[in-house]
Structure 1
Amino acid sequence: MTQEIRTRLLLMADAQYGSFSKSLIPECKPLLGVRLPALRKMAQEFVKNKEWKELVQTDGADDAYFEEAMLRGMLIGYGTAKEQDNEEAMRMFDKFVPFVDNWSVCDSFCNSMTIVSAYREEWWEHLQSFLASQKEFEVRLSLVLLLSQFLKWDDAGRKIPRRRVITEADIMQNIAWKSKKQAQNDSTEDSGNPYLEKIFPVLDRPFTQGYYAQMAAAWLTAECFVMFPAQTMRFLIKSGMDDFTYNKALSKICESRNPAPEVKARIKSMKR
């Protein structure tokens, strides 16, 4: 970022908030304590005034502060969504990925990349190399994008609501499958989501890239459950996840308010 941007960020810094945030994101760059709404407002200002491309052309390696990296990701997300230039969005995404080194920048960046939902087929193919990566945050980025831009949308591009209550009846539909292959093939029955059948195979493996990749996989699995409980239950029964990620997924499901008590009891009984 430019010196002018850095000066503005320094003027908005809140040392107390920065210390608190640092405790939640210990691995990040020096943290000023600028709150996320202020960063979003700044990013939208630059995008509105068409200054954002000039700002993101600078090298991400020069970002001295956490907030500079966060702002860069927001600019890419908001700017590409406004212009709907998917090729440029992919180029900027690829350039930014190596500088994502913490969960907070990763997740905010993914949530801002709404252009992905307009070009899902192209992005599905583009993300395959990141999903297959051995780098922790490349895997986390791709999994969080699947959650935010693929999982929650139906065939017509309408947002699918999360279920408010999940009962035993919801999870026990056609539960007895003869084989893992059959469970995967039938896992998206009546889901309305064209990517669910692709997401389960992505999750059906050990996650050895690191803690933040494992937690993203667990989070995505839990979100699959609260939206598509029967299909996800069938996946969990045959899941090839490593034990840590699998058990974290069960924990996240039980942390949700949506499953009924008897559903949570069943999920807890599945712990490895």
Structure 2
Amino acid sequence: MNITDLHKKLYELQDLKYRDMQIKIIPNIDPESVIGVRTPELKTMAKEMLKAGDYMAFLGNLPHKYFEENQLHAFIISGIKDMDVCMEELEKFLPYVDNWATCDQMSPKIFKKHREILLKHVKEWISSGKTYSVRFGVGMLMEHFLDEDYDPKYPEMVAKLRSKEYYVNMMIAWYFATALAKQYESILPFIEGKRLDDWTHNKAIQKCVESSRITEEQKTYLKSLKVRRT
């Protein structure tokens, strides 16, 4: 499918009410770049392109004009079954990721079988200083390394991060809230020791309080650890 035909199809799937909602929840992207195509439609398109095997020209056409093209790109990468190809295309695409939705909805299935390789790249991403590469790296640690592959050195990596970027700090808070739900005893000292910056520390606690995976007793204690900001 050439780019002209792709754009035509995206506009055929346009939902203006959904477009308005997307613009509100992703405020840092250009409203003119949003067509308004629902995620299930984009995922279906990605599956069709993967099945047909005619997606490489599209992946090479960077930067994209529309937000939906970035979403489609993320979903295609998420479905690539060859680890080397997947990682190569991901590394090419990450510098062009400019919003939390594209970043967070990109989750290659093949990573589950290659966590050792993934971890090497995660370390590079979180040390890159690039907002959405850092966010993606922390997100991958949260998704793949909080269960059977958990190691206390991973939250140590995240706790050392310092950023002025809202979307990085929100992911760090999300990481620690999820980590508390899964590895409470191991993660609690990071909160008790106030290892995060004040805003991220409090946001992590807030997310825990809002979570159904944290007990009421734990929530009460965590709330007592909030930093009182003046």
Same fold (TM over 0.5): yes
Residues 120-179 of structure 1 deviation map (CA, whole Å, 9 limit, x = unaligned): 111111221211122211110111111223324x2xxxxxxxxxxxxxxxxxxxxxxxxx
Residues 39-98 of structure 1 deviation map (CA, whole Å, 9 limit, x = unaligned): 001100111111222321222x1x1111011001111111x23xxx22222211110001
- Unaligned 5+ runs, structure 1: 155-193
Q: Which of 37, 40, 48 is 2:40 aligned to? A: 37
Alignment of 1:1-272 (within 5 A): 2-29=3-30, 30-59=33-62, 61=63, 63-78=64-79, 80-81=80-81, 85-109=82-106, 111=107, 113-152=108-147, 154=148, 194-272=149-227
Q: Which has the higher contact order (CA 8 A, sep 6+)?
A: 1
Q: Distance in 1 between matches of 2:98 and 2:74?
A: 12
Please report how far the alpha carbon of residue 211 of structure 1 lies from its aligned counterpart in structure 2 after TM superposition.
0.5
SS in 2 for 1:196: coil
Dislocated runs of 4+, deviation >3 Å: none
Percent of residue pairs identical: 29
TM-score, normalised relative to structure 2: 0.92
TM-score, normalised relative to structure 1: 0.78
Q: Distance in 1 between matches of 2:161 and 2:95?
A: 23
Please report how far the alpha carbon of residue 200 of structure 1 lies from its aligned counterpart in structure 2 after TM superposition.
1.3
Name the count of aligned residue pairs.
Answer: 224
Match of 1:174 in 2: none
SS in 2 for 1:232: helix
Question: Is the Cα–Cα contact under 8 Å of residues 76 and 92 in structure 1 kept in the other structure?
Answer: yes
Please report how far the alpha carbon of residue 222 of structure 1 lies from its aligned counterpart in structure 2 after TM superposition.
0.7
1:101 is aligned with what amino acid?
Answer: D
Residues 91-131 of structure 1 deviation map (CA, whole Å, 9 limit, x = unaligned): 1111000111100000001x3x1212211111111221211
Q: Distance in 2 between matches of 1:64 and 1:56?
A: 13
- Unaligned 5+ runs, structure 2: none
Residues 17-46 of structure 1 deviation map (CA, whole Å, 9 limit, x = unaligned): 100111000112421110000100110011
Q: Distance in 2 between matches of 1:128 and 1:258?
A: 28
Question: Is the Cα–Cα contact under 8 Å of residues 130 and 138 in structure 1 kept in the other structure?
Answer: yes
